[in-house]
A and B are shown apart, each in its own frame.
Chain A
Amino acid sequence: AQSVTQPDIHITVSEGASLELRCNYSYGATPYLFWYVQSPGQGLQLLLKYFSGDTLVQGIKGFEAEFKRSQSSFNLRKPSVHWSDAAEYFCAVGPVSQFYFGTGTSLTVIP
């Protein structure tokens, strides 16, 4: 069965510090992989996606993620966090017919 784990429920970082959000998945083959961001009361915005090719993918807002097949991970990174990055982040995996989302990581940015 497919599953997605985001081990960190909540992360606090200082503005300007680096960020890494973890995502581990369980799936029989290489799935489609996504990271989304959601601000309070808003919908989901796609940050980046991976389905084949280069395992380091670049997304919007300066985010990147690396697919590591051996670790079944797709961690999201940003070298320097901005106060506007405070939000909820969701990892999602799956085939096209049935995507699974992680429970999310809430990011707080302190000045």
Chain B
Amino acid sequence: NAGVTQTPKFRVLKTGQSMTLLCAQDMNHEYMYWYRQDPGMGLRLIHYSVGEGTTAKGEVPDGYNVSRLKKQNFLLGLESAAPSQTSVYFCASWGTSSNEQFFGPGTRLTVL
């Protein structure tokens, strides 16, 4: 039982490049989330999903797209990276039986 995993752990992009962050969970959770964490800002919700095939915008969705084609995976895409998207990205899933979020280890993204 790996919990929530994120790929990659680190990434450096140039402005304008695209990339996809992968989040996977093996707990059969319906809800999944993508957050970004910036110094002094706490975690801010980018997008979330309440189940396979559904996604919704969170607090800071601009510049990001997501997809939930399989229940266990939640992908975060950056179509044209900008320096303002330099951040640490955390994925999470919600356990209905335990009433808590399970977080991945994070992805540190730098956009030059």
Contacts and interface: CB of A to CB of B under 8 A. Distances in A.
A94 to B, nearest CB: 9
Task: Give the interface residue-count category, chain B.
Answer: 20 to 34
Interface residues of A, number: 20
Interface stretch (B19-27, B41-49, B66-74, B78-86): B41-49
A43 B42 contact: no
Nearest to A94: B45
Given A97-B48, A103-B41, A32 B103 contact: no
B77 interface: no
A32 B99 contact: yes
Interface string B75-112: 00000000000000010001000011101111000000
Contacts of A101: 35, 42-44
Interface string A74-109: 000000000000000010100011111111100000
A98 B45 contact: yes
Nearest to B31: A96
Interface of A: 4, 9, 32, 34, 43-44, 46, 49, 51, 90, 92, 96-104
